[in-house]
A and B are shown apart, each in its own frame.
Chain A
């Protein structure tokens, strides 16, 4: 009981900062109460309407709609509904906003019939698609956001692909995975020799080296990324140096920013310490007597490394790779700054939906998929390498 009390602050913290946000994200990715809450009568009335047919809804549905809207406009909820439906069908938002003023003047009890009046107020009310969208998205728990997240759409005919020009998310997912793999790979290649040196050099030298490794942590992430922007641009330090050395001609300066190369370079640099630290801590525990034993038995330096040292350092590579890969598939700032349009990640899209388009449901669905991918990778890694082989210290 006392032990529980001791960890209570931690428990509360983890609950507040980790469990609750994730739970709320999972919830948001399927939650869709807004249509049935704002238009309860309409949704009920639309129940009997055949969305697959070519007949507009009848007068009863229009009347129900007017009743719902008058209440909604009073409560200023109609624009929110418009925005929600606009995610599915462009133009809905402006239609709800524009028709609000006129609808407000209608008295549901006396001003009927409404069908023609509504079509007069806005052409949209005379289109089948409007009512189909309302009907399709009236469910309270929807798979619509997830379908959107994989470039599909929930329609009255079931799940169908988005039109070609709106398909972007799957491509982004694939790009995110692919680039994260490349970043993880480059981190492994760069971090391995550094960690090896850290683990084998005399204490005094390796401490100095360790400070250099940790130095980036003392600088703001934003500053480091911006520095890369300066370094990588076409008139930047790297291009200038290459031109000066005569390796590239002035007219053919390398384009290494605002694309995937820029993102890969900057993120490899930024995530490198997260690869080095676990690798180093594993390598540090490999006793020097193993390599000495191998050499005394006649193994050359290379054989000793490859057959004795390397296999024992694999847990470090595994731990570092998981860490870097998971960090990089969710990375946001660096791709945003140096990635241009070609080098952005899925997380930049999530950020866009959270702060610009305000489509939080879609953002949550994308986040949930990302979480799922991480868990699947983690599981696969556990099956293949064994998670208890991962040592962080």
Chain B
């Protein structure tokens, strides 16, 4: 993992705004700082402005406001071809009229690298993605996964320090995608390149990245390492977007340091950790991960608040049990337990009491 305290930012967005039509801001006040060698993922729903950010960094769109810095230099006035940034596109953008080797050789040719050097580098890059024997094929003669590898090799062959990838695995099937995820992170770390990776697939973002920037509505909602993002979401959008999540609506009754009491809409009270609430009376959405819900009373604090729950559905998934429950008016409350030897299999219709540790239940914005 990268040492984040080494704060010589390699890529930096400073208060960047972007509007295509002069009216609607698709990127609003973006601040982001990346050290060298980091693998950062921009994660967000479609239309949240991820591609736009990438294009501004690559130089194909200009920021309406703000400054983008690369290695300490503002790059707003540097044309794309002088930025030395490798790119991988979702549709691969392999040149159809050139062979694979010619595709890879292109960035070297325009850099006026000699023929023998070029050939050596192309071969090395092809070997790197295990495509050594495919140099003479045309892109159209390759499968999606193979094209993906070539696109990757082409973005890396001229040894850029920064590589941008815009949903590069979006068109692959699940198995291939998982394999390529591993492949890409391996290469990125081996070569020590700084990577900005765009995806709308949260699993991809969590498994690959050093840090994840969750985008919504043109803003970074949270920028954090994957574990922190999952366990400590800072607002209800992030909590909902990353992983499975239960939400309950209510009003803050009292706050006492690191705990607060929330009155749910049906009148029951629960303990929660105040994250986005500051004073009693505020509306809040509390968020609890399904695997952090406990219905074994022995494991709960003696004075912890509990809620009544009715089991609606039991789903056996092999490694885990999944229960759908009705809790405080929410019929889609999910609880997961590990399939351990002592695990209880609740039946539909059973009434139980559930609770959780205070720090696992986060009181977020309404």
Contacts and interface: CB of A to CB of B under 8 A. Distances in A.
A301 B96 CA distance: 19
Given A289-B91, A296-B81, A299-B81, A311 B106 contact: no
Contacts of A304: 81
A377 to B, nearest CB: 24
Interface of A: 287, 289-290, 292-301, 303-304, 307-308, 311-312
For A287, A295, A300, A301, the residue with the greatest tally of chain B CB atoms inside 10 Å of its CB is: A295
16 contacts: A287-B91, A289-B91, A289-B93, A292-B58, A292-B87, A292-B89, A293-B89, A293-B95, A295-B81, A296-B155, A297-B154, A298-B84, A299-B106, A303-B110, A311-B97, A312-B97
Contact of A298 (B81, B93, B95): B81
Interface of B: 58-60, 79-87, 89, 91, 93, 95-97, 106-107, 110-111, 154-155, 158, 164
Q: What are the 5 closest A-B residue pairs judged by CB atoms, nearest first?
A: A297-B107, A293-B93, A289-B93, A296-B87, A295-B80
Contact of A294 (B58, B106, B155, B164): B106
Contacts of B82: 298
Contacts of A312: 96-97
B107 A287 contact: no
A290 B95 contact: yes
Contacts of B97: 311-312
Contacts of A290: 93, 95
B91 A292 contact: no
A18 B130 CA distance: 56
Given A292-B58, A297-B106, A298-B158, 13 more contacts: A289-B89, A290-B93, A292-B93, A293-B154, A294-B106, A295-B59, A295-B80, A296-B80, A298-B107, A298-B111, A299-B107, A299-B110, A308-B95
Tell which of B58, B84, B93, B107 has the most Cβ of chain A within 10 Å.
B93
Contacts of B59: 295
A317 to B, nearest CB: 14
Nearest to A296: B87
Nearest to B157: A297
Contacts of B60: 292, 295
Contacts of A311: 97
Contacts of A292: 58, 60, 80, 87, 89, 93
A290 B98 CA distance: 12
A300 B110 contact: yes
Contacts of B87: 292-293, 296
Contact of B110 (A287, A289, A297): A297
A303 B81 CA distance: 11
B113 to A, nearest CB: 10
A318 B80 CA distance: 32
A308 to B, nearest CB: 6
Which of A290, A293, A300, A303 gathers the greatest number of chain B CB atoms within 10 Å?
A293
A56 to B, nearest CB: 73
